[in-house]
Structure 1
Amino acid sequence: MNIGTKLLHIGNEVDKMTGAVVPPVHYASTYKQTKATDIGPYEYSRGQNPTREILEESIASLENGSHGFAFSSGMAAISSVFMLFAPGDHIVACADIYGGAYRALTGLFNRFDIEVTFVDTTDLSNIEKAIQNNTKAVYLETPSNPLLKITDLKGAAQIARDNNLLSIIDNTFMSPLLQRPVDLGIDIVVHSATKFLAGHSDVLAGLAVVNDEKLAKRLKFVQTSFGAVLGPQDCWLTLRGIKTLKARMKEQEESAIKIAEWLSEDSRVAEVFYPGLPSHPGREIHLEQADGFGAVLGFKVKNKNKALKVMENVKIPVLAVSLGAVESIISYPTTMSHGSVPDDVRKGLGIEDNLIRLSVGLEDVNDLIEDLDENLE
């Protein structure tokens, strides 16, 4: 089936007990066993829950992987993946990753003697140069947050395989609707399902997908041991959000393209970051590995004061962290998504005080443009 159909017909959308077309929410924390020496598939909800199982099977199917895992947040998913590594291990990561992932690697996992080197992965040779004897993984985002830089996933995955490394990608911006990294050779895909997958700013959730039995067992051990699992109600809400992903994201993408094109022609805007623009340096690579451009864009205005004025005075987009919701969300990477990144590092990446990130929602695109136009004046 095509991905648009799979979003609705993954194979577990009908309850086998009742025929209900909406899966039940199983709130049970524990499950009766028939024998003390023969434990069934459900024992304790930290280990497995029927509602969570449906979500995990769904995301695995959508990403063309073999096993899915649901966590209590996007960062819980990312951090659980980082727990696959041991003291003395080294990770090569793309330089402009989400600030929360940067914070976890440099402020938490470094305490456990896990090393990281940040490089510009738009040039694959930088990955190869950064590999050390103790390197165990390559961690990627493409498009990256918030500058929408593009990394060649097939090329990066091949480098990882050639060096016996795991390849990991945060696929939040694209979702499996637009990009399926497992098909490109990536070993682990993570999502902040809070964003496009759930899509309504009412769920905190993280997901991970692998396509290898041994790797799945390792990650399942972390999930069960660490216990940062997603509750059944949030699993159900995420499943509901996934059903409308195509309808939402295609509409949002169309609006994002129009807004990016309009911004790129406006003299009051210094620079626009969006892979849907012909001028984007990674556009051709992106088109080879993705089915669309997404609904998140960045743009720079002439200075910090103008950026603050625009964000604080627009009437339609919500000034907030997060993205991927039905409502447009405008945010300030300097203090929000990348507020935990040191100033010198952040500015060195091009994430400057005049940068605005916009996640385009389902509002009328002409109203959004008019709102931006009025506040750019």
Structure 2
Amino acid sequence: MSAAHDFEIFLVTAPGLEAALCAEARERHFREPKVVKGGVTVQGGWPEVWRANLELRGASRVLARIAEFRAMHVAQLDKRSHKVAWGEVLRADVPFSVEAACKASRIYHEGAAAQRITKAIQDTVGAPVSKDAEVVVKARIDDDLCTISIDTSGESLHKRGHKQAVAKAPMRENLAALFLRQCGFDGSEPVVDPMCGSGTFVIEAAEIAAGLKPGRSRRFAFEQLATFDSPAWSRLRGNPEKREPSVRFFGSDRDAGAVAMSRANAERAGVAALTVFKQQAISDLTPPDGPGLVIVNPPYGTRIGDRKQLNALYRALGQTLLARFSGWRVGVITNEVPLAEATGLPFAPPGEPVSHGGLRVRLFLTPPLG
């Protein structure tokens, strides 16, 4: 499989956010983006794999689908795995591991399936096996169809590489980026997060406005593959071109530690000059020059906090925004409709549920407040 050869690339995201990721992939000029369960497929070669890891904010990982065949039993899996051109993708000197998932198939033993594919790779390439390997081969056997993919990302893509400090129950960066997109944010308006935690929404918004690539500060598993072209990758990364947006991005939190954390994270991300963080209660919140977007991921009932206190918190948030943020849109991420309703804000019907930290949360979004 040469760098010029096109194949299917699977962009993984949280179920419920596939359409938002598809819109991002289309905007970034990836070819033939299609929504599928748990992500988006696009067509391309290895340069597109590298670019997806570097540029897409909403993906959690990028899988290169390198082979597909039918396998009714393990002997057939063994035989057909040996015919995959592993040497075109994997290097003999780089450790690998294999993960298998079986669904509605005659091959149902995932451990046995992974073992056969591991042996085929060792027989073909001779690479060492390690359970901690950065290069992971993923086999999915669904209705007797075996799809072989390489996880080209390594660590989940929400780990941008410049955020060390995180708050309790943090919002993952890739989810934050897609929620911002669902709110209609395109980088041209101010954003306010009055419960900013470690600053994820504010920093993502500033990076989007500045045109910074989300993967600019980290390494990827594809750098360990036989298909990797270091000079081409250097050209693709290029020199970071940072736009100077005319708007600023604001976070506040009643916890001084969260504010310090947010400032440190913004500094590492290179957006300290575009962001303002301050310690304050919801009741002290005032709008900057706007209008723009208020986006907030408050505590949930099953996450942090007591139910009565939560109702009071959501009510105070809604009252403050209704009184002071005329013309602003508000996005609230929460797991319970009654909590959203406690704000008294005029939400449109919520979006699809999204898995966040094991909970099913939804984005509740208002039109511009009157």
Q: TM-score, normalised by structure 1?
A: 0.28
Larger Rg computed on CA atoms: 2
Bigger strand fraction: 2
Greater relative CO, 1 or 2 (CA 8 Å, sep 6+): 1
Bigger helix fraction: 1
